[in-house]
């Protein structure tokens, strides 16, 4: 009988709302870190690399930020006011916004073009 009571206490502690709130807060911090890493591109990547390197979720989106930064440099090198340059900036901006949304989703979602390149980066 005593064993059943102790197991019921353990079950109650697992269902404790405080434990759920801690998990939710942890996920919120993780998504915020991922958002920072993707929003600030190269600066966010460096911050993530130095401070949050062990967090796979944050580093996933930090790599996206690095790819976006490299793409930004390439687009910047294109001749200004050309149709290709303008189209590239619009595409870059849209992909940047999609990356933010994905980072805030709490899931490792693929961003068109960027995810394939980011997966090739090994740290």
**Which tokens belong to 18?**
């405080």
Residue 108: what pLDDT?
92
Could you give the count of Cα atoms lying within 13 Å of 77 in the half-sphere of its Cβ?
Answer: 6
The tens place of each residue's pLDDT in the chain, 123 residues long, gives 555 554 544 444 454 445 444 444 567 888 999 999 999 999 999 999 999 999 999 999 999 999 999 999 999 988 877 888 889 999 999 999 999 999 999 999 999 999 999 999 998
* Rounded distance between C-alpha atoms, residue 50 and residue 70, angstroms: 19
Position 28 scores a pLDDT of 82
Q: Which residues contact 24 (CB under 8 A, 6 or more apart)?
A: none
Question: Do residues 66 and 39 make contact, with C-beta atoms less than 8 angstroms apart?
Answer: no
**pTM of the predicted model as reported, rounded to 2 decimal places:** 0.74
The pLDDT value recorded for residue 70 is 95
Residue 71 pLDDT: 94
């Amino acid at each position: 009988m005593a064993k059943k009571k102790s197991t019921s206490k353990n079950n109650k502690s697992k269902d404790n709302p405080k434990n759920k709130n801690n998990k939710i807060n942890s996920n919120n911090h993780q998504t915020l870190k991922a958002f920072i890493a993707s929003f600030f591109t190269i600066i966010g990547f460096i911050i993530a690399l130095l401070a949050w390197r062990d967090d796979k979720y944050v580093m996933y989106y930090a790599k996206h930020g690095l790819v976006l930064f490299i793409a930004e440099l390439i687009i910047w090198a294109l001749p200004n006011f050309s149709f290709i340059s303008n189209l590239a900036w619009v595409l870059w901006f849209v992909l940047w916004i999609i990356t933010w949304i994905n980072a805030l989703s709490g899931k490792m979602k693929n961003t068109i073009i960027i995810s394939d390149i980011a997966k090739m980066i090994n740290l």
